[in-house]
Amino acid sequence: MAKPQDRQLVEQWRSMQTTYFQTAGALERALESKFNIGLTEFEILDLVAESADAACRMKQLGERTPMTQSAMSKVVDRLDKAGLISRQSCEDDRRSLYLELTDAGRALHRQAAVEHRALLRENLGTD
């Protein structure tokens, strides 16, 4: 009992939790105060911005994040209502949705990304 390997695992886990929450918290606060969006919102913007190509994305996006389908749906809904993203139905499969940044969304993302990267560097940076 109280195997040293276990202790080490637990330490590793806690340390991960700590950096995770610290970083997420910093990102959350900065994005919220400067751009009025939450971290999850930004993360979706970021994913959509990355895939400049087309595709019935809603689904594929889900594969690139640990978010639930349900969560995705709600975040996208918020982004839509905020006018940052637009959902367009897919013609070859009318269950799916295309996601696209609006101009406002693209602009906001460009600015927010700078802040985001800076904070990542600050929190995860190996410098």
Which residues of this protein are in contact with DNA, per CB under 7 A? 21, 25, 29, 38, 40, 56-59, 62, 67-71, 73-78, 87, 92-97
Question: Which residues 6+ apart lie within 8 Å of 43 measured at CB?
Answer: 65
Contact 31, 45 (CB under 8 A): no
Smallest distance, Å, CB 6 to DNA?
23
Smallest distance, Å, CB 116 to DNA?
16
Task: State both tokens at 5.
Answer: 């390997």
| 22-41: contacts with a second copy (CB under 8 A) | 22-23
Q: Answer yes or no whether residue 121 interacts with a second copy by CB under 8 A.
A: yes
Q: How many residues bind a second copy (CB under 8 A)?
A: 22
Contact 99, 61 (CB under 8 A): yes
Instruction: Kindly report the length of the chain.
Output: 127
Q: Which is nearer to a second copy, 54 or 66 (CB)?
A: 66
Q: Which does 76 bind (CB under 5 to 8 A by kind): DNA, a second copy, none?
A: DNA
Report the first-to-last Cα separation within the chain, whole angstroms: 38
| 56-95: contacts with a second copy (CB under 8 A) | 65-66
Q: Which does 102 bind (CB under 5 to 8 A by kind): DNA, a second copy, none?
A: none
Is the dihedral angle over the CA atoms 71, 81, 27, 36 positive or is it negative?
Answer: negative
